[in-house]
Amino acid sequence: MSTNTTPQEALIYLMVVISAVDRDMNEAELRRIGEAVRFLPVFKGFDEQRIIEVASQCQKLLQMENGPDTVLNLVRDTIPASLHETAYALAVEVVAADFFAAPEEVRMLQIVRNRLQLDDAIAAAIEGAAKARYRELS
């Protein structure tokens, strides 16, 4: 586990973990990760050309024994507590990107919530906001 991981890299790791948990990193999820890195203030100063490199680093960690747990611990220990809600919001955005939350993704969100020690009401508000943003006209 790299001790040189930056908070921005850890945020990307989290988005990759969420995207990969159902074994299908689809185009919508990958696009959402790229958009987040390009447009959100938390990634200001991050070289967007490094997204693939950082995602590959995460994939290598995930393939290790206890990989997902290792990555989630790295995320928790690297991202400042003041950004835990932001981290969770990014994870929720990746899940919402394809308009379907697989059971594995829902379970991973629960694990992330617990790992980041998020209040249930805050997590519910973040999830509700994502549902509102991705609702379609019927």
Domain ranges for the chain, please list them.
7-134
115 phi and psi angles, rounded to 5 deg: -65, -40
N- to C-terminal Cα separation, the chain: 46
> What HEC string does 45-105 produce?
CCCHHHHHHHHHHHHHHHHCCCHHHHHHHHHHHHCCHHHHHHHHHHHHHHHHCCCCCCHHH
pLDDT in tens, the chain (138 residues): 446 999 999 999 999 999 988 777 778 888 999 999 999 999 999 999 999 999 999 999 999 999 999 999 999 999 999 999 999 999 999 999 888 888 999 999 999 999 999 999 999 999 999 989 888 887
From the options 1.10.3680, 1.10.8, 4.10.860, 3.30.70, give the CATH code of 7-134.
1.10.3680
Cα(71)–Cα(75) distance, integer angstroms: 6
